Amino acid sequence: MFRNATTRNATIITVVAMTAFGTRAFAESSARWEYQGVASTEEQVYLNLDSIQADPRGGGYFFVYQIGEDRPTSFTPCDGRFQVVSADGVTFEPMIEPQSDATRKMLRRVCTYHLSQ
């Protein structure tokens, strides 16, 4: 089937890459995104309902939302504030207060989501 090792390796790499990207695309397309409204920046805000996870230490929730083209991972202690993961993917930016009804709605939804399940 394969003429040489180079062709075979290229085929294997292609299949692995297609499988990895296909799985990611499927996972993203199967996520449940809920529209929250328009932010103060005039960008639409969506909340990924499947991303809402209780902090195992207690006291809040992790979640992913979309504002414009950005999809930050965030945390809220359910006190009306939230923080976004920094560019390094490890630390968090300082707590901020929502600047629009859409982000306030998003935080209410995050903090009550598991109660409604």
Give tens-digit pLDDT for 3-15. 554 433 333 333 3
Q: Do 64 and 77 belong together in one domain?
A: yes
Note whether 17 and 58 are same-domain residues. Answer: no
Q: Are residues 62 and 89 in the same domain?
A: yes
For residues 72 and 103, state if they share a domain.
yes
Q: In the chain, what percentage of residues exceed pLDDT 90?
A: 63
Q: Which of 80, 107, 81 is nearest to 96 (CA)?
A: 81
| pTM of the shown model | 0.71
Domain coverage including residue 63: 33-116
For residue 60, pLDDT beyond 70: yes
Residues in Cβ contact with 77 at an 8 Å cutoff, skipping those fewer than 6 apart: 59, 60
